[in-house]
Structure 1
Amino acid sequence: MSKKSIITIFLSTILGLPLWGGQHYYAFLKGDTLRMGNNYMERTMLWNNGTPVTISLTDKLCGKIIPAQGKEPDFSIVKGIPTAATFTVNEIPTNGIHASYLQATVACTIGSLSIERRYRIYADCPAIACDTYLKGQVELNQNKDDNRSNADRKNIEHTADMTTGVKTPTIDRLQLSGNHWRARTVEFFDYTDWNDNLVTERTWLPYRRNTYRGNLLFAHDVATRQGFFFLKEAPCSSTQLHYNGSDFVADFSDFMVVGLGIASDDVKPDSWTRVYGCVTGVYTGDEQEALTALRLYQKQLRHHTAAQDEMIMLNTWGDRSQDAKIDEAFCLAELDRAARLGVTLFQLDDGWQSGKSPNSKTAGGSFKDIWKNADYWTPNPTKFPHGLKRIVEKGKKLGIRIGLWFNPSIQNDFADWQKDAQVIIGLYKEYGICCFKIDGLQIPTKTAEQNLRRLFDTVLAQTNHEVIFNLDATAGRRGGYHYMNEYGNIFLENRYTDWGNYYPYRTLRNLWMLSRYVPAEKMQIEFLNKWRNADKYSTTDPFAPARYSFDYLFAITLAAQPLAWMEASNLPEEAYATATLLKEYQPLQLQFHQGIILPIGEEPSGRSWTGFQSIVSDTQGYLIIYREDNDIAKRTIDTWLPEGKKVTFTPLMGNGKKFVAEVGVQGKVSFELNDKNSFTLYQYQVKP
């Protein structure tokens, strides 16, 4: 049966349900059963007096149901009898950033604690998110027993010994049936100034009660090929608030999301406190179906537009002059070179402002008590005697947007967030600047997190949602890869030839590893001036930047948002030949990023064949193929293309040739590139 037929059958079963604004999402309570869903999935729960218990997940595309045998509530934090239970449904229209969604709110009170579970149901993905808010008073169990080693528990001789008795506050829970679940958890690492291994995976078979770390859990029933995922919407495990060592608990086929990110005193009697969120998605099949389900959800959080989200950025900080050079004359000259190179956004980093940061080339800068200097965030009058007016005007003339670096005032949990917000709003109103790199964040408390969100939300509300933030992930306790994603993209890493730590294949590897689980189009990936600091690398180092073409260095960023991490004025004349590639890329950028981008081939190692695939539809998309430094001119690699189909590959950038191939098992296709460290971006078409 075709997917279209299955959708039609399921739609016929929900006739008479409200279609909110013409969208196919719904949520309703009938008797003791709560149902919510869309054309892709349904989650069915027992009402349980306002503390729902999931009894099934339905994959509508395949007409399959994952039954549950829940006895405990999905969300559990305190014992007691729930009262004052209510159920409300509201449509939240798009604000230009997120997609429209249906908000189904389940509320109740248990003792002195009020709980609201606000489910987000989007029309176009097989996943339902849930944000939980608390108000009142609560004493939280820190559950340290859950994370003790099983080696410290007694041996099992009787069935009574199997009862652990550990009470765990859960963000969400699926109490399923079946003995053949296979699971994978994925943990992520940011503060990339210190980390260069950003993803770790653990595959396991659920058995007795154990704990696991990560933002993602995929579980697959080997017997039925049905699966689900949990996405914990929170910072990386190592930087979460009040982290007790785990994000998931599994006890045979009972799967729980844990770690609320709050302490008891974070819950206030007169205001709502949001805990870490959870997304539950379904799929039937294998890895591609699982990753597609996840990515369809991620794409709902922020519409990807050419005007805001697409950028080929030039930021001069990568050449380590810090704030020494930045002034009006320097920026005007950089704009001319940026236009020549094909850059679409020029960002002024630290140094444009009157205040001096601790990153200044000269001593005496600080981020402490920024607001003791009311002019801290005004353009430096010595460096920019006309403000930023001439920079912005020249940028408009050249078709280049202007962006700025900004460091919110971190002391006292961002207590000055309103002042910070008004600075950004003022720069937007005066100069039309819409892109701000947010640096220096530290989120040590729930209050800090709440105030930071207030800053971002206020800016967006007062700028018609036109501002985008580049959220720096290089240091500190920040949002990571799965939190605050609606506000912009991720500035992934600082790498410098000055320190000899920029290796192109390692940058490509970080993007490749993350892109399986994080939208590549939401990350800024750097390429550097390969002619600088050749003496910082061994003359025999095969992976030194100077050994690559400038074209190739740019090409490793194509699946993401390219960041020219350099001063254009330091580039030699030969570098501008790469402008041809940048200008070829510009009209393709949005098309490529609108697809579901997944890694293909081998993990980048400096010696591999690797790449990315952008799946635009069942019949078309794009591939970027990289041949790293190896002696194999023709290589068969695994893709996400359908087995047995004939596919036409047409090169749009790089050194490859047009060809037609029949796709083998596991998407295998042979590609040929004659030169080491070369690439091709293909458009592909699957033949009927």
Structure 2
Amino acid sequence: MLFAHDNVSENGIFILKEAPTSNVQLAYPGSDFYTEFGNFKVIGAGLNPSDLHPSEWRRGYGFATGVYAGEENNSYIALREYQKKIRIQKPGRDEMVLMNTWGDRGQDSRVKEKFALEELEAGAKLGITHFQLDDGWQTGRSSNSAQKGGTLTNIWDNKSYWEPNPEKFPNGLEPIIKKGKELGIEICLWFNPSKDNSNQHWEKDANALIGFYQKYGIRTFKIDGVNLPDKLAEVNFRKFLDKVSSETKNNVVFNLDVTAGRRGGYHYLNEYGNIFLENRYTDWTNYYPYTTLRNLWTLSKYVPAQNFQIEFLNKWRNLDKYPANDIYAPKNYSFDYLFAITMFAQPLAWFEGTGLPAEAFESSKLIKTYKEHNTKIHAGKIFPIGNEPDGKQWTGFQSIGNEKEGYILVFRENNVASKKAVKTWLPVGKRVIFKPIAGNGKVFESQVLEEGEIIFELAKKNSFALFTYTIK
């Protein structure tokens, strides 16, 4: 991204290069923009001369230019106006509280019919809307299997690779689909496209997903293991996504895993669904609530937060692996707090529901409240507020619905102050009414201070409040 502001006229422009992150772009020239005395150039189209085709157009990296006037915040608002039109979110299709059991590191060892049915029961009790069978539901064994001998190459040598495993699911997926419908939960699948010879089997991959949509009505697929080492691989991968989208009338949602390798990312191939952002596990002590919050907070200024799947984990697992005096360990936060971190994104329940203790299901009240508001929250322009999270700040998010109303989610991390002036995106000098709908807030009215600050109050450390706000 490039932002350019004229301090005389108070006008500016932004240029968004629609490409993967710089370090994985194809034919990367070493930078993305060239600027000199008022001249701005986007460089690096992602194409080499050898990538051109005699009878087929080859798509390079595109760019979007936008204009704005006034303060710096208006540049990000203008950018967001554009980004929200790349994929129009449909509540019945794109809103999800999705549970995927891979986060408890059982891998494919527990995936089977009985386990899935029990997970659905637990998920319904918690309030999830989608349940995703990750790697292990299929007949083929992947290289991520808990058992040896799996592979993700030459997948189509095994024509039954993407059929339900007959040993684990002797009745096919029908009982899982039926149970999901009874409980109001959509069934979703993990899928790893064949990457042989620059994704040459893209059409077979597409037909497999179209078949699941037509047979079972499954329309949400986690797309994992993608590798786009060259332009042909990228072209074929897009053909795969386009064919599935077209033949399902754009009803399919792709959870695009961007955790490794040369893939799409924040600004490329992002019109097909949402972004599976990161893998975090208590098993390896790389799940810390404040770092998850910080990642979303930092990105949300530049990428719509509602485009991300953001994880919350079973905080009762692996307690002994975190130092006893670690004040930032997951055990020191309520389960409600962990879920609240994800609310302005698409919540990802990254655990086995059957492994949760009874107290975890008390969060079903918060999840129910969230589902009553998530569509309106995500319909707004979401931006970070307060300070960058580091475990001891006042921080959060604001969803700007229109000129008069929206939502604010504020967190008091492990901070000594029970009151704090938090910088928001509200207009200075206006009076605003705040009404709490979740968490630990109270009704109050306040005037917006300089730099958009509002004084919030939360009595306890590691607590949060979700408010609706109305500008008088």
Question: What TM-score, normalized to structure 2?
Answer: 0.99
What is aligned with 1:685? 470
1:328-368 deviation per Cα after TM superposition (whole angstroms, max 9, x unaligned): 00000000000000100000000000000000001000001
1:284 and 2:79 matched:
no
Match of 1:385 in 2: 170
Per-residue deviation at 1:244?
1.9
Write the distance in 2 (CA, Å) between the matches of 1:402 and 1:285.
47
Partner residue of 1:476? 261
CA distance in 1, matches of 2:290, 2:166: 42
For residue 538 of structure 1, the aligned residue among 312, 323, 328 is 323
Q: Tell me if 1:250 matches 2:35.
A: yes
Paired residues of 2:101 and 2:133 also in contact (CA < 8 A):
yes
Query: Is the partner of 2:214 in helix, strand or coil?
Result: helix
Cα distance in 2 for residues equivalent to 1:461 and 1:259: 29
Q: Which residue of 2 aligns with 1:108?
A: none
TM-superposed CA distance for 1:288, in Å, is 1.7
Aligned match of 2:201: 416
Residue 325 in structure 1 maps to residue 110 in structure 2: yes
Tell me which amino acid in the other structure corresponds to 2:388: E
1:275-424 pair list within 5 angstroms: 275-424=60-209
**Which consecutive residues of structure 2, in runs of 5 or more, have no partner in the other structure?**
none
What is the distance in 2 between the residues matched to 1:292 and 1:319?
38
1:433 to 196, 212, 218: 218
- Please state if 1:603 is matched with 2:420: no
Does structure 1 conserve the Cα–Cα contact (< 8 Å) formed by 2:310 and 2:347? yes
Superposition map of 1:105-116 within 5 A = none
**Cα displacement (A) at 1:637:** 0.8
Structure 1 residue runs of 5 or longer lacking an equivalent are 1-215
Structure 1 CA distance, aligned partners of 2:447 and 2:56?
60
Once residues 37 and 342 of structure 2 are traced to their aligned partners in structure 1, the CA distance between those partners, rounded to angstroms, is 42
CA shift digits 1:447-506 (9 cap, x unpaired): 011100100110011111110100001001000100011100000000000001100000
For residue 602 of structure 1, what is the amino acid of its counterpart?
N
Please say if 1:589 is aligned against 2:374: yes
Q: Using the alignment, how far apart are the partners of 1:441 and 1:285 within structure 2?
A: 41
The residue number in structure 2 matching 1:574 is 359
Between the aligned partners of 1:390 and 1:219, the Cα distance in structure 2 is 56
Shift of 1:327: 0.3
Superposed displacement of residue 303, structure 1: 1.1
In structure 2, distance between residues paired with 1:267 and 1:594: 40
Q: Is 1:456 aligned to 2:238, yes or no? A: no
Pairing of 1:25-64 with structure 2 (within 5 A): none
Residue 271 of structure 1 and its aligned partner are, at CA, apart by 1.4
| RMSD of equivalent CA atoms | 0.6
Distance in 2, matches of 1:265 and 1:540, equals 58
Pick aligned residue for 1:672 from 444, 448, 457: 457
1:663 aligns with 2:471: no
Task: Determine which structure has the larger strand proportion and give its number.
Answer: 1
Equivalent of 2:9, from 213, 224, 243?
A: 224
CA contact (8 A) 2:122 2:354 kept: yes
Determine what percentage of the aligned residue pairs are the same residue. 56
How many residue pairs align between the two structures?
472
Distance 1:387 1:628 in 2: 46
Alpha-carbon distance in 2 for matches of 1:366, 1:268: 32
- Give distance in 2, aligned partners of 1:306 and 1:229: 29
Distance 1:570 1:411 in 2: 37
Q: How many angstroms apart in 1 are the aligned matches of 2:104 and 2:56?
A: 46
Of the candidates 520, 537, 542, which is equivalent to residue 305 of structure 2? 520
Structure-2 separation of matches of 1:392 and 1:538: 42
Aligned residue identity for 1:293: A
Kindly report structure 1 stretches of 4+ aligned residues shifted beyond 4 Å. Answer: none
Q: Tell me, yes or no, if structure 1 residue 549 matches structure 2 residue 351.
A: no
User: Structure 2 CA distance, aligned partners of 1:553 and 1:313?
Assistant: 15
Counterpart AA for 2:11: Q
CA–CA distance in structure 2, aligned partners of residues 630 and 300 of structure 1 = 38
Q: Mean Cα displacement is larger for which, 243-252 or 317-326?
A: 243-252
**1:258 alignment partner AA:** I
Distance in 2, Cα, partners of 1:237 & 1:461: 30
In the TM superposition, residue 666 of structure 1 has moved relative to its aligned partner by 1.0
TM-fit CA distance, 1:269: 2.0
- Opposite residue 355 of structure 1, the aligned amino acid is G
**SS in structure 2 of the partner of residue 238 of structure 1:** helix
CA positional deviation for 1:412:
0.5
CA contact (8 A) 2:68 2:74 kept: yes
Q: Which amino acid aligns with 2:435?
A: T
Q: Distance in 1 between matches of 2:182 and 2:83?
A: 35
What is the CA–CA distance in structure 2 between the aligned matches of 1:391 and 1:286, rounded to whole Å?
52
Which residue does 2:434 correspond to in 1?
A: 649
Deviation at 1:301, TM superposition (A): 1.0
Q: Is the 8 A contact 2:29 2:43 kept in 1?
A: no
- Of 504, 507, 532, which residue of structure 1 is paired with 2:289? 504
Distance 2:71 2:180 in 1: 47
| Offset at residue 287 of structure 1 (A) | 2.0
Aligned mates of 1:401, 1:624 — CA distance in 2: 28
What do the CA deviations read for 1:225-262 (whole angstroms, capped 9, x no partner)? Answer: 11001000010101100112100001111110000101
One-letter identity of the residue aligned with 1:440: G
Please give the alpha-carbon distance, in whole angstroms, between the structure 1 residues aligned to 2:297 and 2:342. 10
State the alpha-carbon separation in 1 of the partners of residues 437 and 5 from structure 2: 38
* Structure whose CA Rg is larger: 1
2:99 aligns to what SS in structure 1? Answer: strand
TM-superposed CA distance for 1:286, in Å, is 1.6
Distance in 1 between residues matched to 2:241 and 2:120, nearest whole Å: 28
Q: How far apart, in 2, do the equivalents of 1:582 and 1:460 lie?
A: 30
For 1:446, which of 215, 219, 231 is the aligned residue? 231
Listed as ranges, the matches of 1:161-240 within 5 Å are: 216-240=1-25
> What is the DSSP-based 3-state SS (H/G/I as helix, E as strand, rest coil) of the residue aligned with 1:272?
coil
Q: Which residue of 2 aligns with 1:124?
A: none
What SS does the aligned partner of 2:108 have? Answer: coil
Matched residues in 2 for 1:410 and 1:268: separation? 21
- For residue 252 of structure 2, what is the amino acid of its counterpart? V
Three-state SS of the structure 1 residue aligned to 2:242 is helix
SS in 2 for 1:274: coil
CA offset digits 1:54-88 (Å, max 9, x no partner): xxxxxxxxxxxxxxxxxxxxxxxxxxxxxxxxxxx
State the partner residue of 2:410.
625
What is the CA-CA distance between 1:661 and the residue it aligns to? 0.1
Rounded Cα–Cα distance in structure 2 between residues aligned with 1:422 and 1:599: 40
Distance 2:305 2:196 in 1: 33
Secondary structure at the counterpart of residue 261 of structure 2? coil
